[in-house]
Amino acid sequence: GVSWTFSFLLCMCGNNMSAPVPVIIPAAKKATAAVIFLHGLGDTGHGWAEGLAAIKTSHVKYICPHAPIAPVTMNFRMSMSSWFDIIGLSVDSVEDEGGIKNAAENVKAMIDLEVKNGIPSHRIILGGFSQGGALSLYTALTTHQKLAGVIGLSCWLPLRNSFPEAAANSPNKDVHTLQCHGEADPLVPLTFGRLTADKVKTIINPNNVTFKSYAGMAHSSSPQEMMDVKQFIEKQLPPIN
């Protein structure tokens, strides 16, 4: 529709300073919890807002921000929406450390904004897909905000060699984490997902780390995965009477 085109135009000409307003799915009743969900490379918040709207829970507010537009090394320096630069997707690729840390600070600011709006951080789940999932894992492990849960779909852990030290004072040592991955993912191989879950288990309580893989699923989502996400959200963010 028109509004989608309009926000797409906003995205296209928006630079880091004027990032467009996130897509928000308000709670059907008073919001007592929130999910902040970060999209993948080259996407906008709209795609995941649609997916989350289909599994929404009445007391939860869903926030799907748009990444700023920037050149991405891996994609021949083409400009696209991206949370930080990606130089390559192999195990030994150089990582954009400054960009990753800067992006994590921006996500922490989004969480602070919700806290200011009356939703405590321990009632907020941080999640994302691919690059957005990577950023949500990194942010959850390095923030001083206590979170309700973390969702990482088809992703990896950035700056993995900085852990466990990077999470030394983390209040999220017991946070519940749901990681999901397609078994036929050609971009971020299933092995990366498994290795990431193993690494996360050395940083937080391993009993709280759930890893699920889906036969035949590529670098995308599936109805089964979305049901697993819905169940995780409902379990970690129960209604408050």
| The model scores a pTM over 0.75 | yes
Any domain includes 18? no
Candidate list 46, 213, 219, 220, residue with the active-site label: 219
Q: Is 130 a catalytic residue?
A: yes
Give the residue from 214, 237, 216 showing the smallest Cα distance to 226. 214
For residues 95 and 92, give the distance between their C-alpha atoms in angstroms, rounded to a whole number. 9
Q: In what order do the strands lie in the sheet with 209-214?
A: 23-25, 60-64, 33-38, 124-129, 149-153, 177-182, 209-214
Q: What is the CATH number of the domain that holds 210?
A: 3.40.50.1820
Q: Which entry of 81, 82, 121, 130 is annotated as an active-site residue? A: 130
Residue 194: which domain range? 23-236
Residue 18 banded pLDDT, cuts 50, 70, 90:
low
Question: In sequence order, what E strands does 159-234 have?
Answer: 177-182, 209-214
Asked, for residue 134, whether it belongs to a domain, the answer is: yes
Amino acid sitting at position 71: P
How many structural domains are present in the chain? 1
Given 121, 185, 221, 228, which residue is catalytic?
A: 185
Q: What is the pLDDT of residues 187-197, one digit of tens each?
A: 999 999 999 99
Q: Which two tokens stand for residue 172?
A: 């999220």
Q: How confident is the model at residue 71 (pLDDT cuts 50, 70, 90)?
A: very high
pLDDT on residue 14: 40
Residue 80 placed within a domain:
yes
Q: What percentage of residues in the chain have a pLDDT greater than 70?
A: 92
Concerning whether 198 is annotated as a catalytic residue, the answer is no
pLDDT tens-digit series, residues 147-171 = 999 999 999 999 998 888 878 889 9
46 is catalytic: no
Q: In angstroms, rounded to a whole number, what is the distance separating the alpha carbons of residues 110 and 126?
A: 10
